[in-house]
Amino acid sequence: MTSKTYFIPNISCMHCVMNIKKRLNEIEGVESVEGNAQTREVKVEFSNPATEEVILQALAEINYPAEV
């Protein structure tokens, strides 16, 4: 399993975090998603078939692009 933490500058509240969690949990292979509205960080644990590319694309699609 892979664990990555992403900085997402568009996060402004817990509602943003909930939207991100909902979308990322739809991806097959995503094990867990934890977010912090204060630090604007989201930690994602995933394994195959999920990839970092798929996660980053999903974040961009919902207007929460991660800084990489």
Domain boundaries, the chain: 2-61
Output Rg (C-alpha) for the chain, integer angstroms: 11
| pTM (two decimals) | 0.93
Mean pLDDT, residues 37-56 taken together: 98
Q: Residue 31: what pLDDT?
A: 98
Average pLDDT estimate for 46-67: 97
- The whole-angstrom separation of Cα 17 and Cα 10 is 10
**What local confidence, expressed as pLDDT, does residue 68 receive?**
78
Q: Read off the amino acid at residue 16.
A: C
Mean pLDDT, the chain, rounded, equals 97
Kindly give, in sequence order, each residue whose CB lies less than 8 Å from that of residue 58, ignoring residues fewer than 6 positions away: 23, 24, 26, 27
User: In the prediction, which pLDDT does 28 show?
Assistant: 98
Q: What is the mean pLDDT of residues 25-44?
A: 98
User: 1 by DSSP, 3-state: which?
Assistant: coil
User: What is the arithmetic mean of pLDDT over 23-44?
Assistant: 98
* CATH number 3.30.530.20 given to 2-61: no
CB 47 within 8 A of CB 31: yes
